[in-house]
Amino acid sequence: MRFKPLLSLTSKTIVLPQDNIDTDQIIPARFLTTTSRKGLGAFAFYDWRYDEDGAIREESPLDSHDPVERAILVAGSNFGCGSSREHAPWALADFGFQAVISSDIADIFKSNALKNGLLPVEVDQKTHQRLLNNPGEELTIDLEKQTVRLSDGWQTVFEVEPFARHCLLEGVDPLGHLMNQMSLIEQFEVERA
C-alpha cells in the first residue's frame, strides 16, 4: 500500500498512561472477523470507549477525540504488546492517529505501524514522563529530522528504522523494494537447490 508522504506533524496529544497496552485493548478479537482493512477506527479501544451496555464511557480520554486536533497518542511503556494483528494500527490510523509515542513499543506492532502511515516514536524516560503528565499538549514530530518538539521548546531526537523512514518520507511501498530484488531471490533459490 502507498501512503501520502509524512514529513512532519503538529498536533495535540491524547494520553493513555497505562503500561502494557496490548493489541486486544487496541482492537478486541471479536472485531477481527472482518476481511477488510477499512473502517476499523470504529472499534479502536472499543471496550475503553464503551461500557457493557454500549454507552459511551464519559471518563475515557478517547471519547473527546477530534482527529484534526489530536492525532498523537501518548501511551505507557510496552505499547502494542501481544498479538501480531495488523488490525491494531489499521484501527488506530482509521481512528485518526498519525503517531504513537511511548518509551518502548512492541516489535511487531512497531513494524506493522510503520507500514500503515502510523509513526511509532520511542522517546527517553524523561520526555515520556513529561508527555504523560501533560495530556493535550501540542507537539511537533519531524520525521525528516527525527525530532519531537514540545510547546515550551523542549526537543528530543528519536530513532526510526531508516528504511521505514525512507518509505514514509517518499511514499515508497516496501513490496516494490522486494519485487526489485527478484533476480537475487531467484538466484538464491537456484543456488541452494
Sites of contact with other proteins (CB under 8 A) = 1, 18-20, 22, 24-25, 28-30, 32-37, 47, 52, 76-78, 81-86, 104, 106-108, 111-112, 115-116, 161-163, 166, 174-175, 177-179, 181-182, 184-185, 188-189
In the complex, least distance from residue 10 CB atom to other proteins, rounded to whole angstroms? 27
Greatest alpha-carbon span in the chain: 62
In the complex, least distance from residue 149 CB atom to other proteins, rounded to whole angstroms? 26
The label of the residue with cell 470504529 reads 42
Cell triple for residue 19? 503500561
In the complex, least distance from residue 119 CB atom to other proteins, rounded to whole angstroms? 16
Q: Which is nearer to other proteins, 118 or 139 (CB)?
A: 118
In the complex, least distance from residue 140 CB atom to other proteins, rounded to whole angstroms? 26
Q: Which is nearer to other proteins, 11 or 83 (CB)?
A: 83
- In DSSP notation, the chain reads -------EEEEEEEEE--S--BHHHHS-GGGTT-S-SSSGGGGTTHHHHB-TTS-B-TT-TTTT--TTT--EEEE-SSBTBS---THHHHHHHHHT--EEEES-B-HHHHHHHHTTT-EEEE--HHHHHHHHHSTT-EEEEETTTTEEEETTS-EEE----HHHHHHHHHT--HHHHHHTTHHHHHHHHHHH-
In the complex, least distance from residue 150 CB atom to other proteins, rounded to whole angstroms? 24
Cell triple for residue 140? 511537533
In the complex, least distance from residue 124 CB atom to other proteins, rounded to whole angstroms? 16
Q: Which is nearer to other proteins, 84 or 140 (CB)?
A: 84
Q: Which is nearer to other proteins, 47 or 142 (CB)?
A: 47
